[in-house]
Amino acid sequence: MNSRSLPGLYGLDSLNLPKHIAIIMDGNGRWAEKRLMNRIKGHEAGSGAVRTIVRACREIGISVLTLYAFSTENWQRPKIEISALMVLLNKFLESEKNEMMENDIRLNAIGQVDKLPENVRKTLNRTMDLTGKNKGMLLNLALSYGGRTEIVDMVKIISQKVKDSKIDPDLITDEFVADHLYTAGMPYPDLLIRTSGEMRISNFLLWQIAYSEIFITDTLWPDFGKEELIKIIYDFQNRERRFGNVG
Ligand code: FPP
């Protein structure tokens, strides 16, 4: 810690917390296979880890948590697995809404939410409305999300504005692009965590993670808990972020 640090919860420097943590939750299937269980059991256990990490981030004082819960590519999985994931998502939203209210957490979804089944969409909209005024933490669920699709959607919106002569192409800046992504108004992720050891980005937040610190752990998502999250944030606080500049 330096002279401008402030020892906070769990020995973390409260002046240097990541504002936005994004997580690729991977390894539910392997967690189940290792136990000779159906993959769906792995997703159930993964939902438990979601609860733990949402609570922990709120407690630590993280402003935005983005979880990659379902990608555009995940629609290619067997129908039975997709349905199970949708049921789990619905259950999670129903069971956590009171806790989100108690803990001042606002729920948001990024992705092609219109592709989700109607019942999930309704629960999602209800929960987003209910928690809409909460300010303690933003919980962003990436659902039917793909980074390339997000960029294509942004290009379409901006091109239409140019076509309608609403903007001059010379005025298109980094900030302007950011304001037309699903994450408009949010800080970029400071820290990107991926569980289960794969060294891939998997089409997640392609624009937003340009300068994120990346941490990949071998832990499978259902086994990922608060203690490891704190260790990763501690590691983050000891990294030097240069944003392309010199140290
Ligand atoms: C990756 O594991 C995980 C997913 C595709 C979905 C993530 C879903 C959850 C954590 C549970 C439900 C979500 C919420 C928000 C309650 P994988 O199946 O790709 O694992 P594998 O690579 O080991 O097969």
User: Residue of the nearest CA to atom 22 in ligand 1?
Assistant: 27
Question: Which amino acid is located at 242 in the chain?
Answer: R
Question: Which amino acid is located at 83 in the chain?
Answer: S
Residues 6+ apart with CB under 8 A from 159: none
Residue pLDDT, tens place only, 118-148: 999 999 999 999 999 999 999 999 999 999 9
Return the structure tokens found at 102.
């108690």
pLDDT reported for residue 3? 52
Minimum-distance ligand 1 atom for the alpha carbon of 93: 16
Helix (H) or strand (E) run with residue 158 in it: helix 147-163
CA dist list (Å): 73 to 8, 55, 70, 202: 40, 28, 8, 9
Could you tell me the mean pLDDT of each successive run of 10 residues in the chain, 247 residues long?
69 95 98 98 98 98 98 97 98 97 98 98 98 98 98 98 94 97 98 98 98 98 98 94 79
Contact (Cβ atoms closer than 8 angstroms) between residue 186 and residue 207:
no
pLDDT reported for residue 43? 98
pLDDT reported for residue 240? 85
- Which of 23, 24, 26 gets mutated to test ligand 1 (max ligand atoms within 8 A of its CB)? 26
User: Residue of the nearest CA to atom 3 in ligand 1?
Assistant: 26
Rounded distance between C-alpha atoms, residue 32 and residue 46, angstroms: 10
Counting every residue written for the chain, the total comes to 247
Angle between helices 39-60 and 79-102 in degrees, nearest 10:
20
Q: Cα 9 to chain center, whole Å?
A: 22
CB of 77 within 6 A of ligand 1: the answer is no
pLDDT reported for residue 219? 98
CB of 43 within 6 A of ligand 1: the answer is yes
pLDDT reported for residue 111? 98
Residue pLDDT, tens place only, 159-181: 999 999 999 999 999 999 999 99
Rounded distance between C-alpha atoms, residue 145 and residue 75, angstroms: 10
CA dist list (Å): 110 to 42, 67, 71, 211: 24, 10, 11, 20
- Set out the domains of the chain in order of their start, with CATH numbers: 19-235 (3.40.1180.10)
